[in-house]
Amino acid sequence: MIIKDEIHGTVGFDDLEARIIDSGPFQRLRRIKQMSVTNLVYPGANHTRFEHSIGTAHLSSIIARNIGLDGDEVRKVKIYGLLHDIGHTPFSHEGEDVLKRHVGDHEKLGRQRMTTGEIADILSENFRPSEIADIGKSPYGSIITSDLGADRMDYLKRDALNTGVAYGIIDIDRIVHTLTTEKNELCIGKGGFEAAEYMLVARFMMFSTVYLHRTVRIATAMLYRAMEGAIADGTVSPEELCRMDDESAMNALSRSDKGGPYAKALILRKLYKEVMALPKEGWSEDKARKLEASLIRDAECDIIVDYPNAFFKPVELRVKTDGGLVPIIELSKLVQSLKKAEEDRMKVLVLAGEEMRNERSERIRKIVAISSRRLRRAR
């Protein structure tokens, strides 16, 4: 199978890989957007988990060969790269945020889909399905999942291209050809230091300006309410949602008494509006929920208080230097600054429907001021 990819050009797959791509579970990824509801803000963000998985497989095989793997080792890494997102639920990570409390995360669901059913039957012709599923936890798994892994390199560049922003323009070729291994650890050679540094900064910028854009956060908060409401009132079960794609899931949510108003508003892009933004310092998720309950009661309208998710993960990447392996965070002042920059940009958002925002903005602000003082003093 030959595929013309928007990022990597001509990408090839052997017969086994082609049959995996043509399987029902993999074709379902065509109907799951990579960036969930981000297309309500960036209209071009309609690309899917399908093409991202194609790109990740391609990069995985290149990295594997460059660090000295060959034969079946490369094939297994490439197949795992192809299947690394096979467990994704509708609405990608945003859907997973709700569903993982009920059915586990996409890694758990992915393992189930690799080891049972149609994909397992295909894999069994050449491999034990479990040995493919176990790649993610093996030393080879870092080829896909590390700070400079194939997964991250592909989604940053693909997401930037489809949203039209410049932050994801990273030097994939330089990184891929300077990755190396030391004691089974994937690391970057000195020649790739600046490219690796820029990629980590690019990831920060993509989260700050795209993935956690304020309007994207508003749409995501509404999606959470739609899913939670539909599950709570029994319109759809978590297990049923996991088998759906974005469109069928949204249709199911729209039939819910509790979740339906949010789902229908998303379909029509009738998004809630920001009433005010509060510095994150002194707040917690629990305090945000209590403030939301207080606002709904006292302002007598529907309010969402959205607590920001942290996006700066500890950077584990190490650089191979003449003196041995050194964490990149020790070598790069740019990378060191990212955590502080994230903290400065984090806000707790108070949201309401446009009509209620216009009518009751002052009332909501007064309630927030009173409730905030009380909640921030509470231990």
Upper half-sphere CA count for residue 206 (Cβ side, 13 Å): 25
pLDDT at position 377, please?
Answer: 67
Res. 281 pLDDT band, cuts 50 70 90: confident
pLDDT at position 112, please?
Answer: 96
pLDDT at position 161, please?
Answer: 95
pLDDT at position 345, please?
Answer: 85
SS (H, E, C) 210-233: HHCCHHHHHHHHHHHHHHHHHHHC
pLDDT at position 199, please?
Answer: 93
- Does residue 185 surpass a pLDDT of 80? yes
Q: Please, where are the H alpha helices in 276-318?
A: 285-299
Candidates 3.30.70.1560, 3.30.565.10, 1.10.3210.10, 3.40.1280.10; CATH matching 1-164: 1.10.3210.10
161 neighbors 7 (Cβ within 8 angstroms): yes
pLDDT at position 378, please?
Answer: 63
Q: Which of 19-28, 76-85, 276-285 has the lowest mean pLDDT?
A: 276-285
Retrieve residue 66's tokens: 């460059």
Res. 332 pLDDT band, cuts 50 70 90: very high
pLDDT at position 166, please?
Answer: 87
Upper half-sphere CA count for residue 286 (Cβ side, 13 Å): 4
pLDDT at position 184, please?
Answer: 83
- Does residue 313 surpass a pLDDT of 90? no
How high does pLDDT run on average in the chain?
93
- Does residue 294 surpass a pLDDT of 60? yes
Domain spans in the chain, listed from the N-terminal domain onward: 1-164, 172-211+310-344, 272-308+346-379
Average pLDDT over residues 300-313: 88
The residue among 34, 36, 37 whose CA lies nearest residue 48 is: 34
Percent of the chain past pLDDT 90, that is, above it, reads 84
pLDDT at position 373, please?
Answer: 76
Res. 340 pLDDT band, cuts 50 70 90: confident
- Does residue 247 surpass a pLDDT of 70? yes
Average pLDDT over residues 24-28: 98
- Does residue 280 surpass a pLDDT of 60? yes
- Does residue 311 surpass a pLDDT of 80? no
d(CA 282, CA 280) in angstroms, rounded, equals: 6
Res. 379 pLDDT band, cuts 50 70 90: low
Sign for the CA dihedral angle at 277, 278, 280, 285 comes to negative
d(CA 286, CA 376) in angstroms, rounded, equals: 11
Res. 376 pLDDT band, cuts 50 70 90: low
Res. 372 pLDDT band, cuts 50 70 90: confident
Mapped onto helix, strand or coil, the DSSP state of residue 88 is coil
Retrieve residue 210's tokens: 């795209």
E strands in the chain:
2-5, 9-12, 179-182, 185-189, 273-279, 303-306, 318-321, 324-327, 347-352
Residue scoring higher pLDDT (374 or 249): 249
pTM: 0.93
Q: Give CA torsion, residues 165, 167, 169, 171, to 10 deg.
A: -170
